[in-house]
Amino acid sequence: MKKVMILGAGRGQVGLYHAAKRLGYESVAVSIDGDWPGFALADHICRVNLYDVEGVAKLAEEISADAVVTACLEIGLPALGAACDRNNLPGISYQTALVSTDKLLMKEALMKAGVSTARFCRASSEEDLERARGELRFPLITKAVDLSGTRGIHIAFEEKDLLPCFTETMAATGKDYCVVEEYLDGYECSATALIADGEVMFVLPTGDLRYGENDEVPVGHYLPYEDSDDILRQIKEEVTKAIYAIGLDNCAVNVDIMICGGRAYILELTGRIGANCMPELTSIYYGFDIHEMIIETALGNFDAVRGYMEREIPETACIGKMILSEKEGTIRSIDTGSPDSEHVEQIWMFAGEGAQIRKFTNPKDCIGQLIVKGRDLDECERIAEETIAGINIELEQESK
């Protein structure tokens, strides 16, 4: 029986444990201790911190792992790459993992390969900020190179804002430098891709659902993503160039994209599938389980991977939304109502009775997720709104 090491045991990796079992493979959960759902699904549990790159690589050698995978989790990529290098396994290399988790190294690689991306510079001092003021056009963004999501990102609309933004970014990062890049004023979307044996199997542009005063927090996705034929072509071309530019191979890929002035710009990409319902939506759209494809890719079963792409793609629209709370407190009860069983693929509540929940400010505050499929996006949106409206969560002091 093939042995698959799965880095992480949280909700983002649950699909990998189910897929390994369906495929007849032995799963090994690698995570710090905790009440993780993956522990109940794994065949074996190894409590190792994913920041311990050498420890994870050594564990893969000790247990004779046939593959190392993760999903929706960026912190484990350097350890995954080291384990693949040390044990000669398919998957991203350690060096590629470092590039894909450091925004400066990534931007340098993208720019060198001629990928469409915002102009930028490295900044570690006020002198560097002066150079940025002279070389780049405002507004500018200061970005921590080692954080994901919106953490450590600040927008300087005018020159006077740049130093305060830089100071806040540097306070958040663990590095002594950050990236300053030109702000692209457009609309954002995403893409999921998979590369196996050096071949990009697919690039799937995806619509984003966002929350907040400036739509800064991602809270879901939808498919199909509709745009002009030219923009869709650019997305696929630039994503493919970016994948090769940073050396990704034998992995799923998550890409953030900005459409600005009729041009698709790559914001960043990394060697794992995205979160916020992205694995489920990709699976519904293509008609196969993307977690199975990720595992088969990591095992080097490339004929099996190509076989997934030979299946007929169903004509299905789908939406995935994170379930949020506008209030905080302790959950007294949850009633998910009577969802439309024909169209609602999943209502998954992460928080249960007795759990403390916070008013939503970032993805860590999500209390569940909803997956809906239908004939078109209008139908999906209507059913999603009705389903969320039917969820009743009672808190100890106030109700939602």
Q: What are phi and psi of 333, to 5 degrees?
A: -160, 155
Residue 40 β-bridge partners: none
Pick the CATH number of 3-89 from 3.40.50.150, 3.40.50.20, 3.40.5.90, 3.30.70.360: 3.40.50.20
Residues 151-167: pLDDT tens digits?
899 999 999 999 999 99
Calculate the average pLDDT of the chain: 95
Q: Give the per-residue pLDDT at 215.
A: 67
Q: Give the per-residue pLDDT at 397.
A: 62
Pick the CATH number of 119-182 from 3.40.50.1000, 3.30.1490.20, 3.40.50.20, 3.40.50.300: 3.30.1490.20
Q: Comparing 119-182 with 187-314, is the CATH topology the same?
A: no
Domain limits, the chain: 3-89, 119-182, 187-314, 318-395
CATH class of 318-395: alpha beta
CATH class of 187-314: alpha beta
Share of the chain above pLDDT 90, in %: 90
CA distances from 34 to 15, 29, 31, 234, 278 (A): 18, 12, 8, 43, 25
CA distances from 118 to 140, 245, 260, 286 (A): 10, 15, 10, 31
CA distances from 379 to 195, 205, 376, 389 (A): 32, 20, 6, 15
Q: Give the per-residue pLDDT at 180.
A: 97
Residue 116 contacts residue 264 (beta carbons within 8 Å): yes
* pLDDT band of 102, cuts 50, 70, 90: very high
| pTM for the whole structure | 0.94
Helix (H) or strand (E) holding 225: none
Pseudo-torsion of CA 386, 210, 278, 256, nearest 10°?
A: 160
Q: Edge-to-edge, what's the strand order for the sheet holding 187-196?
A: 263-270, 251-260, 187-196, 199-211, 217-223, 317-323, 368-374, 344-349
Residues 263-319: pLDDT tens digits?
999 999 999 999 999 999 999 999 999 999 999 999 999 999 999 999 999 989 999
Residues 359-399: pLDDT tens digits?
888 878 899 999 999 999 999 999 999 999 999 999 986 54
**Mean pLDDT, range 209-233, rounded to an integer:** 89
